[in-house]
Amino acid sequence: MRLFRSFMMGGFECSTHTLRSGRRLDLVSSTRHDVFAREDYERMQAIGMRTARDGVRWHVAEPTPGQYDFSSVTPMIQAALETGTQVIWDLLHFGWPDHIDPLSEWFPDRFADFVTGFADVLRREGDTSPAVCPVNEISFLSFAGGQLGFFNPWVHDRGDDLKRQLVRASIAAGRVMREAFPSVRLVHSDPIINVASWPERPGDRAAAENHRRAQFHAWEMLGGFACPELGGSPEHLDVLGVNYYVHNQWYFPGGHGSTISPSSPAYRPLRELLIDTYERFHRPMFIAETGIEDEARPLWLAYVGAEARAAMRAGVALEGICLYPIVNHPGWEDDRHCYNGLWDYADASGGREPYGPLLAEIERQNELFRQFDADPSFVEDTKPALQVLDSIARSIAEATESSREA
C-alpha cells in the first residue's frame, strides 16, 4: 500500500526566513497561495497530484509571545480536506518569529507549544491522520545559518549547536503530534549530496568525505543512532524526504566553479544517492524537493523520474516525487520572477497559467510510473539529459554563490 495518495506531488514554496537586510520572506503570501489554496489544490487534483507539501507560518501564527492565531492556515486545512488533498505540513521552513531565539535553551519548548496549537486546529477541523515535516532541512539550515552565517540566524562556527537545537525541536514537535494523532507520519527532509575532492588535490579526500557524510548526521540524531541524549529514537525517524537539485554535487571545499557537471565522471547518478540513503536507514523515502528553472524544467523531471525508477528497481522504498515548487515565486533576494514551477503567478480570480512542456512531462511521468508498476524491468537512458544539463548546472551554481557573497 502506498504511503501517499499520489506518487507525483507538488510542493508550495513556504520559506519564512529573515534576510540579512531584515526583510521577512513569506512565500505562501507572495505567491497568493494562502488566498487561492482551494484553486491550487483543485489544479493539482486535475492532473493526478493528490499529495502536496505546504507550510504553517510560525511568525504569522504567533505574532506576540504565547498568543496564537491560526486563522491564516485554517482555510488551507479546510481546502485540503474538502478537495481530498493529502498535505505534508512543514512546521518550520527556515523561519521563526522575531521574538524567538533558535539557540536559546527554551527554543524546543516554544516550538512544541506552537505545534500543540496547530495540532488542536487540525483536530478541530477533522484531520485525523496528518503528515508533518517538523523542521525542514536541518542539515542545510544548521550549516548555512549556524556555521557559515549566510542564512538566518546569521552566526558562525555554531553549526553543531544549531543542529542539536533543531533536532531537539523536531523531536519535541514529533512527540506532540504523536500524542495528538497516533497515526501521524513524521517526515524529515534534508538534501542528499555528493562531495568529491578535486583530482589534482588528493589531500582533500578525507575532508570531502567527512563533508559528504555530514548529510546523514541530522537523521542519525533524530533516530537516536547518534547523540542519544537529544532524545531521538528509531520510531521518530519515520519517513525520509530527500531534496535534490542540479547543484547538489560539488568539489570540496565549494565556491565558484566547484559544481560537478552532470556528465563528469565524478558525478554520481541520483539513483546511487538514493540507494546509499536507503541502505543506511531502511526507511520509506520520497524525493521531497526537486526542480529547476526555465526551459530545463521538463528535461530535469525526465532525468529525476528515470533515476527514481532505477532506484526502485534496485530495491529502494521510494514513495513519490515532489515537484518543488509547483508554482513560480519571487526570488528570495531580488524578487525576480522565478520560472521554476508548473503554474505561474495567480490572476485576480486565482487562475494560473501552466508551463505546457512541464505539464506534458508530468503526464508522461505518470504514465511511465503506471508502466513501471506493471513491469519494472524496462530500462531508460539518462545520459542525453545529463549532457544538456551541464551548462545549466554551472550557471545556477555561479548565481547561487554570488548571492551568498553579496
pLDDT tens digits, 46-61: 999 999 999 999 999 9
**C-alpha separations of 379 from 2, 234, 246, 376 in Å:** 23, 35, 22, 8
Structural domain that includes position 306: 8-405
Q: In this structure, what CATH number is given to the domain that contains residue 242?
A: 3.20.20.80
What is residue 17's predicted lDDT score, i.e. its pLDDT? 97
Report whether pLDDT(94) > 90.
Answer: yes
Q: What percent of the chain has pLDDT over 70?
A: 95
pLDDT tens digits, 125-163: 999 999 999 999 999 999 999 999 999 999 999 999 999
What is residue 39's predicted lDDT score, i.e. its pLDDT? 98
pLDDT tens digits, 227-241: 999 999 999 999 999
pLDDT tens digits, 104-120: 999 999 999 999 999 99
Instruction: State the residue for C-alpha cell 491560526.
Output: 70
What is residue 261's predicted lDDT score, i.e. its pLDDT? 86
Report whether pLDDT(291) > 70.
Answer: yes
pLDDT tens digits, 305-356: 999 999 999 999 999 999 999 999 999 989 999 999 999 999 999 999 999 9
Q: Total structural domains in the chain?
A: 1
Interval 68-92 mean pLDDT: 98
Q: Is residue 1 part of a domain?
A: no
What is residue 379's predicted lDDT score, i.e. its pLDDT? 76
Q: Is residue 2 part of a domain?
A: no
Q: Is residue 209 part of a domain?
A: yes
Interval 171-182 mean pLDDT: 98
Q: Is residue 206 part of a domain?
A: yes
What is residue 394's predicted lDDT score, i.e. its pLDDT? 62
Report whether pLDDT(402) > 60.
Answer: no
Let me know: does 163 contact 111? Beta carbons within 8 Å. no
What is residue 404's predicted lDDT score, i.e. its pLDDT? 44
HSE, side-chain direction, 13 A CA sphere, residue 275: 13
Let me know: does 274 contact 316? Beta carbons within 8 Å. yes
**Among 191-200, 287-296, 394-403, where is mean pLDDT lowest?**
394-403
Q: Is residue 202 part of a domain?
A: yes
Q: Is residue 95 part of a domain?
A: yes
What pLDDT band is residue 398 in, cutting at 50, 70 and 90? low
Q: Is residue 147 part of a domain?
A: yes
Which DSSP category does 202 fall into? G
Let me know: does 199 contact 189? Beta carbons within 8 Å. no
Write down the pTM of the prediction.
Answer: 0.95
What is residue 232's predicted lDDT score, i.e. its pLDDT? 98
Let me know: does 114 contact 69? Beta carbons within 8 Å. no
d(CA 357, CA 366): 14
What pLDDT band is residue 285 in, cutting at 50, 70 and 90? very high
What is residue 399's predicted lDDT score, i.e. its pLDDT? 54
Interval 296-303 mean pLDDT: 93
What is residue 405's predicted lDDT score, i.e. its pLDDT? 46
Q: What percent of the chain has pLDDT over 90?
A: 89
Q: Is residue 346 part of a domain?
A: yes
The rounded mean pLDDT for the chain is 94
What is residue 50's predicted lDDT score, i.e. its pLDDT? 98
What would the grid cell of residue 298 be?
521538463
Coil/strand/helix, residue 86 = strand
